[in-house]
Amino acid sequence: MSSNPNSAILKLEQLCISYGTNMAVDHVDLEFFTNQVTAIIGPSGCGKSTLLRSINRMHDFNPIVTTTGKISYQGKDLNAKSVDPAEVRRQIGMVFQKPNPFPKSIYNNIIWGPKINGLLKDPDELVQKSLEQAALWGEVKDRLHESALGLSGGQQQRLCIARTIAMNPELILMDEPCSALDPKSTAHIESLIMELREKYTIIIVTHNMQQASRISDQTVFLYEGKLIEMGPTGDVFTKPKVKQTEDYITGRFG
């Protein structure tokens, strides 16, 4: 993977996503850059999560969703008929709002995906490496064969991040990964995201303005499915070009 920060790993062109007759994402053009964290902000129902889920083809499971436009990942059209959705989801990992560990041991949570995808070589090494990258190894190394459901909420979310890392993705999507967590666990996850940007490209949907300003390199503001503004996070938060962005960030609506 290129380490050039100006290299776009993912490009959306005129992306439209509809649920039946309701358009949730409306002609969005966006680029996401290698080894950067991009925060997608906007009020509830503005299309943030819908856009995120389109990137690793999660809408394939919903028959009422229609997608038009183009999503290019490393120059390849992700919605082309020749593209295997399972391979897309391997390369583009997803961390959800609510921690969702499998009802298995911590160890088996990590190796499950690589095992069924034929990627497992040294399970012990993979488990340790993934948990270390997720800043969880020190807390669970003596509990690897205990149920993952016995972990705290914050630990479960870091386990889900470790599980994603174990699949060796290049791009990680996070859909409000801290919204169900306490402040201490949130700080852990934010610190982790900032470390992970060294190796991965991360797109995070967040409703937390302070979080977006702390951890992201680029911020995207959506409203009613439309892209209102995007740019370097410092610029979007301190000198937005669009009044609607300023009104949202300062809490006048949303």
Q: By mean pLDDT, which of 1-15, 64-78, 208-222 is the weakest? A: 1-15
Q: Read off the pLDDT of each residue in 215-244 and give the average, rounded to a whole number.
A: 97
pTM metric for this prediction: 0.94
Residue with tokens 């992201």: 216
pLDDT of residue 225: 97
Q: Identify any residues that bridge with 28 across adjacent strands, giving them in sequence order.
A: 15
pLDDT of residue 6: 62
DSSP string, 80-99: STTS-HHHHHHHEEEE-SS-
pLDDT of residue 186: 95
Dist. CA 154–CA 182, nearest whole Å: 8
For residue 97, give every residue at least 6 positions away whose Cβ sits within 8 Å of its Cβ, in sequence order, or none: 175, 176, 177, 179, 180
The predicted-structure confidence for 170-184, as pLDDT tens digits, reads as follows 999 999 999 989 999
φ/ψ bin of 176: left (φ > 0), alpha (ψ from -120 to 50), beta (otherwise): left
pLDDT of residue 2: 37
- Give me the amino acid identity at 253: F
The pLDDT confidence band at residue 68, using thresholds 50, 70 and 90, is very high
Evaluate if residue 132 carries a pLDDT over 60.
Answer: yes
The predicted-structure confidence for 98-107, as pLDDT tens digits, reads as follows 999 999 999 9
